[in-house]
């Protein structure tokens, strides 16, 4: 976000910078509230932090030098979700159950990913994106 915000200012798009800034503030507030809420539950906190990290891997995974990732609009999503497999296996092996963080958070991550492309192609989303960008 820092790079995006700095780039917007450098490009003279301070209007977009300000609007995006409020979205970042809202996201940061939610993240802080969640982190504080679970800070005394180390197992939950660690899993939330790992899930948050996995949710950020879409762009780097999409840039890996594998042809399937470059030619399929869904391959990078599946490749990113593969990072969930070892952490879930770890839970199953070590705790004999899957943490609710991975059941709920992982499920929400996958649902968001599945909806991202179809929603991103709608006229409504394009209207929202234009309002944010211009």
Q: What is the mean pLDDT of residues 50-75?
A: 88
Same-domain status, 55 and 27: no
Q: Is the pLDDT of residue 5 over 80?
A: no
Same-domain status, 5 and 19: yes
**SS3 for 24?**
helix
Same-domain status, 60 and 10: no
pLDDT of residue 115: 86
Same-domain status, 20 and 52: no
Q: What is the mean pLDDT of residues 54-80?
A: 88
Same-domain status, 6 and 46: no
pLDDT tens column, 91-102: 999 999 999 999
How does 114-131 read in b/e, with b if 16+ C-beta sit within 10 Å? eeeeeeeeeeeeeeeeee
Domain with 29, as residue range(s), is 1-37
| Residues near 92 by beta carbon (within 8 Å), at least 6 away in sequence | 98
Q: What is the mean pLDDT of residues 18-42?
A: 82
Same-domain status, 3 and 48: no
Same-domain status, 86 and 65: yes
Same-domain status, 63 and 21: no
Same-domain status, 32 and 51: no
Same-domain status, 65 and 98: yes
Q: Is the pLDDT of residue 71 over 80?
A: yes
Same-domain status, 83 and 128: yes
Domain count across the chain: 2
Same-domain status, 56 and 23: no
């Amino acid at each position: 976000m820092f790079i995006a915000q700095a780039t917007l200012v450098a490009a003279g798009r301070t209007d977009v910078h300000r609007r995006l800034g409020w979205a970042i503030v809202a996201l940061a507030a939610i993240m802080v509230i969640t982190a504080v809420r679970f800070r005394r539950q180390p197992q939950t906190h660690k899993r939330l932090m790992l899930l948050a990290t996995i949710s950020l891997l879409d762009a780097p995974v999409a840039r890996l030098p594998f042809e399937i990732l470059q030619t399929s609009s869904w391959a990078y999503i599946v490749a990113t979700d593969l990072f969930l497999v070892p952490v879930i296996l770890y839970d199953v092996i070590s705790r004999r159950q899957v943490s609710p963080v991975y059941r709920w958070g992982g499920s929400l991550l996958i649902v968001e990913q599945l909806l991202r492309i179809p929603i991103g192609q709608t006229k409504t989303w394009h209207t929202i994106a234009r309002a944010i960008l211009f």
